[in-house]
Structure 1
């Protein structure tokens, strides 16, 4: 089932005519998008266990045509599978639209946050317009979107009055997303902590470290030097050392 060779499935059916096809095999075919195999099984095999995880697998792996086939020919999956949330995880807007229009699937807060965290802006906009009572953007936290470097998502959420914590800038800095750091600095009041420079230094993002030093007042701790050396980011460590030497010189001359 995993490779989708319908000829092999047909051969097995001839060789073992009374054999049964378990639900996990059907789910594997759906997961891998093997529509031809599923169609053949439905049309020619009487001992297939439908109604397991095959619909979930099709949605979770972006196989819309497989999902349509299963919806039309097999029993619908339980409501608690939250299929539209799975489509939201991948930003599969066409799948989300189909699930809502054809099956009436609804959205949970987790589905919204999956799309937000992955920077899937078109999907989030569709959610907001389609589920206005469920998607309250002022309740959406943008920390993960910032940490993942999704600048356009962060900008849009900021315009929608979403919220964040200091971790937004800390983690954006730690992951080297300087443009996100700059935007948060200019447009938000949460700021950051010493973690911002510590994380950026430890991960080797010298330009981020320099920018934070020049534009923020939090500074760093001994962790910045220790982690930059431990992770072999010697250019960062050298720059930090120069700053420390300069500070010591200024202090001794005061």
Structure 2
């Protein structure tokens, strides 16, 4: 068994002392005693970006790799004892060490970790927590190690949604091409794509297994879109029949007069009524006024008054016709 190479200072010191020339283990022991860096947790060492430091920590842990756990040869406590022997600690260290390495965009360090921790699964947090920075190259490395049986990768169902949330279209295409049979939550991904205003991605998801989830009482995806002021998305949702009551309230609450007009004018101008329009108008007026959008509140009030008077005249005419008949 070979430990880490002695520190340079120790090599120079003992080189000048002839009596220690036949006792190299003395320099090794003194060096290890003085070198506190080897007790640095591996994931913290990864933050330095130094593979030399990682090699030193790993080499220093070799003395614990084959010892009897019940009768340890070295009774001193150190975390180095566990990076080769304890499966839970190994999984913990691999997870956070990979996260640090990916954030540093250090592909060689990623490979080093996978080689040293063969047989330890790559859990979902590694991919989810690094989605903003992970490269396609690293994803491909994970995929290759997974297929070779070195590491099992937890391809979490939320990966597609997380990729959309972080704006990683390249990851979406990679997942679709390389893991076509994986059970990704395309419905959640679809909702996020709509919230982010990415119609192209939303349509692609619909064509590739994404489905609209069941609506929650009092909530519709159009509410978020109206709050954001995205007329283009509202039009797209309306064409697909995905727009329901409540959008006027959200548009008014956030001061989007152009959306309020688009939602209300076609109905009012054609003498039609929407279910709950009167009640929705009351909420819209209140929401707009409470948030300082006076112009929006006045518009909704004036337009609903106009509708009310038109409906009253229409009702009166219908009554006269009935009497005449």
TM over 0.5: yes
For structure 2, the residue ranges without an aligned partner over 5 or more in a row are 1-30, 61-77, 84-89, 148-152, 268-273, 315-325
Query: Given that residues 87 and 96 in structure 1 are in contact (C-alpha distance below 8 angstroms), is that contact kept between their aligned partners in structure 2?
Result: no
Matched, 1:131 2:182: no
Partner of 1:170: 223
SS in 1 for 2:308: helix
SS in 1 for 2:255: coil
CA RMSD for the aligned pairs? 3.5
The one of the two structures with greater contact order (alpha-carbon pairs below 8 A, sep at least 6) is 1
Q: For each residue in 1:85-141, what CA deviation from the matched residue of structure 2 results, as whole angstroms up to 9, or x when unmatched?
A: 445566743432232124543522121232244553332222122112114787666
Alignment of 1:39-54 (within 5 A): 39-44=51-56, 46=60, 51=90, 52=93, 53-54=96-97
Partner of 2:293: 233
Separation (CA, whole Å) in 1 of partners of 2:137 and 2:229: 32
Query: Given that residues 147 and 171 in structure 1 are in contact (C-alpha distance below 8 angstroms), is that contact kept between their aligned partners in structure 2?
Result: yes
Query: Given that residues 115 and 123 in structure 1 are in contact (C-alpha distance below 8 angstroms), is that contact kept between their aligned partners in structure 2?
Result: yes
1:44 offset after TM fit, Å? 4.6
Query: Given that residues 281 and 300 in structure 2 are in contact (C-alpha distance below 8 angstroms), is that contact kept between their aligned partners in structure 1?
Result: no
Matched, 1:156 2:209: no
Q: For each residue in 1:170-195, what CA deviation from the matched residue of structure 2 results, as whole angstroms up to 9, or x when unmatched?
A: 32222222222212222x23x22222
> TM-score, structure 2 length as denominator?
0.58
For structure 1, the residue ranges without an aligned partner over 5 or more in a row are 1-13
Query: Given that residues 115 and 124 in structure 1 are in contact (C-alpha distance below 8 angstroms), is that contact kept between their aligned partners in structure 2?
Result: yes
Separation (CA, whole Å) in 2 of partners of 1:154 and 1:162: 8
Q: Which has more radius of gyration?
A: 2
Moved over 6 A (4+): none
> TM-score, structure 1 length as denominator?
0.71
